[in-house]
Structure 1
Amino acid sequence: MDPTSVSERENVTLTCRTKCTLDPITAYSWYKNGQPIPNSNTSSPVYILFSVSSEDTGRYSCAVEGHEDLPSAEETLTVRYGPKNTSVSVSPSGEIVEGSSVNLTCSSDANPPVDKYTWYKVTYKKMSMKHSGQRYTIHNQL
């Protein structure tokens, strides 16, 4: 596999190699996490993953047609990607009583994981930074 760690939208080339003298090799089968990749049988020992996404992260292997019981060793592909599915949870949930404190927690899916969060307060035509960190507590304001 070349390369084994990529950013989203890059291409990855998988090459199946065997030391056995099988003649003729008519097709190669490709697997991800031990499961056949649909429509991946090819007469070439090269399989290209075009414009990878986070869903392409996994362990890849190949086998020669007719010898699927002897797959290659697995190679792991790691795909780096920016934050997705960013969300905020509020605690306590439900109606907030005036004067009480509120805990806000931000989370997102990213590889590598997000290590810095910044909280902003938006008011009429103005945005100001309030806090850095995954959790932010708004203390009672009576």
Structure 2
Amino acid sequence: MSESETIGDWYLAPWEAQSLLGGNSSADFRLKVVDVLGNEITSDHISIGRKIRLMAEDTSGSIIAFRALSCAAQNGVSRYYILRAGCGDGLVFKKSDGFETTGNVVLSPYFEAFKLAGGRDTIEFECRFTQCEETCNGVR
């Protein structure tokens, strides 16, 4: 049994206006879930409460650096933004937490694996990034 947190419409952040100001990147990105040792978790089953983090990397080597703007968890029915405008949602991540950029690798803070109500038992993460013209290391 794990702790349950009900997230009503009152808690969900309002719609976030995003617009594409540049072109699409030709870089290839890979988003994966890793454990506390940095090893990729490839299993379809992750226990609720397990400490994990998201890792995104440029596998093409064609950009200098990039940073995370937003990330959502989705299960086919529900969609919950864990990162908006570079800041945590307040439940999964502290509102003052952001993703850390080191060159062409971006890491989320550690968080406990969770499940969204309704839909499939599995969740997928979808993140949006912006390319930096020069090195943009650090937490944004």
Alignment TM-score, normalising by the size of structure 2: 0.25
Higher relative contact order (CA 8 A, sep 6+): 2
Q: Over alpha carbons, which structure has the higher Rg?
A: 1
Alignment TM-score, normalising by the size of structure 1: 0.24
- Greater strand content: 1
